Structure formats: C-alpha cells, structure tokens
Amino acid sequence: MTTDYDDYEAYFRGSLEAKEGRKEELLHLYLQVRDRLGGAIENWLDIGCGEGNFLQVLHGQGVSATGIELDAELAKQGREAGYDVFCGDALTSVERMVQEGRRFQVVSLLHLIEHMETNDAVELLRLISHIQSPKGCCVVQTPNVKDRRVLLESFYRDPTHLRPYPPRLIEYLMKATGYPQVESLEFDRWVADREESIAEVRAERKRKYDAIKRLLRDAEEILGKA
Amino acid sequence: MTRSSGFSATPKKSWGKRKAVPSNYAIMLKMELREAKFRSLSQERKARELVNGLESRVQSLQEQLKEELRLSKESSASIEAEVGAVKRDFASKASMQEEGERRDRALRALMEAIAAVCELTNELEKAHRELESLKPGKNLTTLGRME
C-alpha cells in the first residue's frame, strides 16, 4: 500500500470535534464496564491505544492504565503525554506480559481485531486470557456489521481492515478462549433489557391512537349528519 | 137662487124633506178637513222624504260597512300571512342553530383529535431522539468475563 495511514486517519478522523466525541464514547464505555464489574477498577490494559485517548479518559477516572501501540510515533505521543505505553506488535507484547506475569483487571481491544486475521485474533484473545486478573474482563470493540451503513461503506473505507467480525463470531471466539460469560452491548441488547417498558410505551401509544380514531370517527359522523 | 154651488145665503125652511144646508160650522169643518188633508199630505210627503233619506243613508252605511268588512278581511289575511312567514323564519333559524351546534361539536372533536396527534408526534420524536442517542450503531462492543 502506497498511501500513508496517518494521512488516512487525518482525512477521516482528524477533526477536533470527532476526537472529543470519541472521548465521550470512551467515557461511556468505561462507565458501562465499571458498573458491570461492580466497583472501582484496579488497572486496565488498552491494546492498540493509538496516541492514548482512552488512557487519558481512564487516568481521568483514577484508573491505572497501560497501553500497547504498534505505531512508534503514536506510542511516543502517548508516552510524552505521560502515559505508560509499550510500542510493539500486540501478539508479541502480550506474550511478553504473559511471561512477565503481568495481570490486568480489564483488557480492551478497541477497533483492533478487524485489522487481524482470525487465527491471530484467536491467539491474541487466548494470550489476553492469561494476563487477566481473576474475574477480569476483556472488552472487544469492532465496527458493527449488523448496521448496513457500516457493512456496505465505512468498514471497507479503511484499507487496513482485513475482515469483519460479526457479533456471534466474537462471542464464540471469546467463549472459546476462556471467557464463559459473554455480553454484547449492541442495540438489540438494550432493547431486550427494556422490553417490558417498551411494551408499556407501545400500549400507551396504542390507546392514544385509538382515542384519536374515535374522535375522528365522531367528527365524521357529526359532519355526515349535518 | 142657484143650486150650482149647493149653498145659499139664506137656507129655505122646509117641512118635508129637509135639505142639508151647510152650516158655517160645516164649512169650517170642511175647511179644517181640507187643511188637515193638506197638512197630512205635506207631512206624508215630508215623512216620505225622510224615509227616503233614511233609506239612502242606511244603504250608504251598508255599503260602507261592506267595504270596511272587505278591508278587514284583507287585513286579516295579510296579518295571517305575515304570522306564517315569521313562524317559518323562526323554524328556519332554529334549524340553522341546530346545524351550527352539530358543526361546533364536530369541530371540537376534530380539534381534540389534532391536539392528540400533535402530542403523540412530539412523543414519538422525543422517543426517536432518545433511541438514536442510545443506539451504538457503528460500534459493536462485546464484554467477556473470566469466571
């Protein structure tokens, strides 16, 4: 590939507003994970941390955060910002951490595995399971290919994406690599959690629609007689 | 002596059949009689004239009465026609008022329906915005937890 990936990033994701919006999403993600783990998070490893946006968010929440980044320049930026960032390939870096006996309560891979072939992704997940604290948590975020806009356009806009990972495949891979409890945070899950309240809202709206129909029927009848 | 007039200045005395001799008294009676006849005729004429006048007057009054009666009948018919028109107008106005009330009720029902539709539309828009803000959309996040 002759095009510089930095140029691609700058072209598609470079705006300040986009970065701030992304940080809000990351904070929301942190809060979701924290709520599920039921308390303060001891430490967090972010694989593919880039220039350290998520590390910044985690530091802001008082979490001890470490990053791994393949791109030397981005890793350097992260270190210069004061974060603990390792520069290197994800598989090699995590393998070394396994050997060193490092442990992390939470490990995140945000928009990373779609840049990997399936075998490498499986191997990485397997290695990660060896550096997790007991009852630890692995967070995988990837483009949601159940969204047609993503599948038909944005996923293939990035020339370094190797393959999409559908939700069911990720769930299967995580279970197969040592994570028996797998939870998807996609929209369908949100709907399922609130099925009861949604049913109530639907029933209330149906009542209102019926009332409107009655009123219109009455008006039609009265005008018909007149 | 002549008998042409039947009277003489000196009536003859006769032992036989006594010829009637008009006395002054008789003459006077005759004259009175004539005068009475004359007065009677005059009075009769006057009475006749009076009767004629009265008859004429009665006839005139009868005609006048007839005319008054005719006018009264016409006036009565006119008044009845006016009363009928007023009654019809009143009925028409009552009907229009009833129709207006029906239209008012229909309009109120329509207004209520429109207000309900607006309220529901606002709710749907709000719900749609909430769903959009909550929907992860482009990102799929999966959490795997160790035992």
Q: What is the pLDDT of residues B12-22, one digit of tens each?
A: 555 556 666 67
The mean of the pLDDT values for chain B is: 81
* pLDDT for the residue numbered B11: 56
Cα–Cα distance for residue pair A71/A50, rounded to 1 Å = 7
Percent of chain A with pLDDT over 90: 54
**Residue A73 sits in the same domain as residue A26:** yes
* pLDDT for the residue numbered A77: 92
**Residue A31 sits in the same domain as residue A126:** yes
| Mean pLDDT, residues B69-95 | 91
Domain span including residue A217? 194-226
For residues B19 and A45, the model is more confident at A45
**Residue A159 sits in the same domain as residue A206:** no
| CATH number for A50 | 3.40.50.150
Cα–Cα distance for residue pair A204/B123, rounded to 1 Å = 11
| Mean pLDDT, residues A46-73 | 94
pLDDT at position A205 over 90: no
Which chain A residues are within 8 Å of B99, Cβ to Cβ?
226
Residue of B nearest to A166 (CA): B140
Chain-chain contact of B136 with A185 (C-beta, under 8 angstroms):
yes
pLDDT at position A191 over 70: no
Q: pLDDT tens for residues B92-146?
A: 998 888 888 888 888 888 888 888 888 888 888 787 777 666 555 678 888 899 8
**Residue A145 sits in the same domain as residue A205:** no
**Residue A145 sits in the same domain as residue A206:** no
pLDDT at position B76 over 50: yes
pLDDT at position A128 over 50: yes
- Between the alpha carbon of residue A29 and those of residues A58, A115, B139, the distances in Å are 10, 21, 11
| Mean pLDDT, residues A34-54 | 92
Which range scores top for mean pLDDT: A11-20, B17-26, B57-66?
A: B57-66
* pLDDT for the residue numbered A186: 63
Percent of chain A with pLDDT over 70: 86
Would you place residue B6 in the very low, low, confident or very high pLDDT band (cuts 50, 70, 90)? low
**Residue A107 sits in the same domain as residue A208:** no
Residue of B nearest to A178 (CA): B146
Closest Cβ opposite residue A137 in set B119, B123, B145:
B145
Which range scores top for mean pLDDT: B34-43, B65-74, B93-102?
A: B65-74
> Buried b vs exposed e over A107-135: b needs ≥16 C-beta within 10 Å?
bbbbebbbbbeeeebbbbbebbbbbbeee
Looking at the structure of chain A, the number of domains it has is 2
pLDDT at position A165 over 90: yes
Percent of chain B with pLDDT over 70: 80
**Residue A139 sits in the same domain as residue A219:** no
Which chain B residues are within 8 Å of A180, Cβ to Cβ?
145-147
> Buried b vs exposed e over A162-190: b needs ≥16 C-beta within 10 Å?
eebbebebbbebbeebbbeebbbbbbeee
Would you place residue B7 in the very low, low, confident or very high pLDDT band (cuts 50, 70, 90)? low
**Residue A179 sits in the same domain as residue A210:** no
Minimum distance, in Å, between the CA of residue A206 and any CA atom of chain B: 10
For residues B29 and A62, the model is more confident at A62
* pLDDT for the residue numbered B137: 65
Amino acid (one-letter) located at B147: E
How would DSSP label each residue in A134-186?
Answer: EEEEEEEEEE-TTSHHIIIIIHHHSTT------HHHHHHHHHHTT--EEEE-S
Would you place residue A142 in the very low, low, confident or very high pLDDT band (cuts 50, 70, 90)? very high
pLDDT at position A12 over 80: no
pLDDT at position A106 over 60: yes
**Residue A42 sits in the same domain as residue A109:** yes
Cα–Cα distance for residue pair A44/A58, rounded to 1 Å = 8
**Residue A171 sits in the same domain as residue A220:** no
pLDDT at position A22 over 80: no
**Residue A226 sits in the same domain as residue A129:** no
Contact between B107 and A215 (Cβ < 8 Å): no
Residue of A nearest to B95 (CA): A226
**Residue A45 sits in the same domain as residue A150:** yes
Entry pTM: 0.55
